[in-house]
Amino acid sequence: MSTLKEADFADPSRLEAALRANLAAFERRAVPVPEGVRSAAVCLTVVPFRDEPHVLVIKRAPRGRNAGQWALPGGRLDEAESAEEAALRELAEETGVEAGPEEVAGLLDDFRTDSGFVITPLVVVPRGPVLPRPDPKEVQSLHHVPLRRLMKPDLPRWATAPDGGPLLQMPLRAGMVIHAPTGALLWQFREVALLGRATRVDTVTQPEFTRR
């Protein structure tokens, strides 16, 4: 595993190869899904935007589950659906970005949430033209976060939770501070895929407002 370099950002093929190499070298942890817990899957989608690579982040519509929260494209698995199938289906439905199994660069650790889900995160690198078309029923807004921003040394930021423990924050730009679970997945993506460090995030605390 190794840290991405300047040349990786300039060449989409080299970037994809570097991401795949780091993810392949990472010993991913799967989490068993017990009775009463639901399975979900999300996409950390790496796309070109303004001549450099970004990852897609959405803000959920101001109604329904997780209303108004920062999220990654994704959702719960339908019956007999795999995590990969669900993640890619939800990516297309929520953002209009189409990707196939061959464009999945690798997976990060499963993350069990306090709201009753086990989330499987996929890193996806679409190879065709990317023209996002967010579904207004599910997505209030879609945002491009530069990979360079995720690699900055001021991330993550740690605050104090009400119980006195550490609270992870990912301040990505003005008005965009992302907490767990989405913040935890972005942090592990940064650590594993971008910086080549085998960091675990399963002990990260979720703030109360994300548990609904």
pLDDT at 67: 65
pLDDT surpasses 90 at 205: no
| pLDDT tens string 124-170 | 999 888 888 999 888 999 999 999 999 999 999 998 877 777 899 99
Question: How far apart, in whole angstroms, are the C-alpha atoms of residue 23 and residue 18?
Answer: 9
Q: Report the pLDDT averaged over residues 164-187.
A: 92
pLDDT at residue 66, as a whole number: 63
Q: Span 67-85, mean pLDDT? A: 91
Alpha-carbon distance of 114 to 2, in angstroms, equals 32
Mean pLDDT (the chain, rounded): 91
The structure's pTM equals 0.93
DSSP state of 46: E
pLDDT at 42: 97
Is 75 in a helix, a strand, or coil?
Answer: strand
Distance CA 212, CA 172 (A): 23
Asked whether the predicted pLDDT for residue 65 surpasses 70, the reply is no
- Assign residue 147 a region: left if phi > 0, alpha if psi is -120 to 50, beta otherwise? alpha
Mean pLDDT of 63-91: 88
Residues 103-119: pLDDT tens digits?
999 999 999 998 889 99
Written as six digits, the tokens of 20 are 């795949």
pLDDT value of residue 172: 95
Q: Please determine, for residue 211, whether its predicted confidence score (pLDDT) is greater than 70.
A: no
* pLDDT tens sequence across 12-51: 999 999 999 999 999 999 999 888 889 999 999 999 998 8
- State how far the Cα of 83 lies from the Cα of 120, in Å rounded to an integer: 7
- Please, are residues 72 and 46 in contact by the beta-carbon 8 Å criterion? no
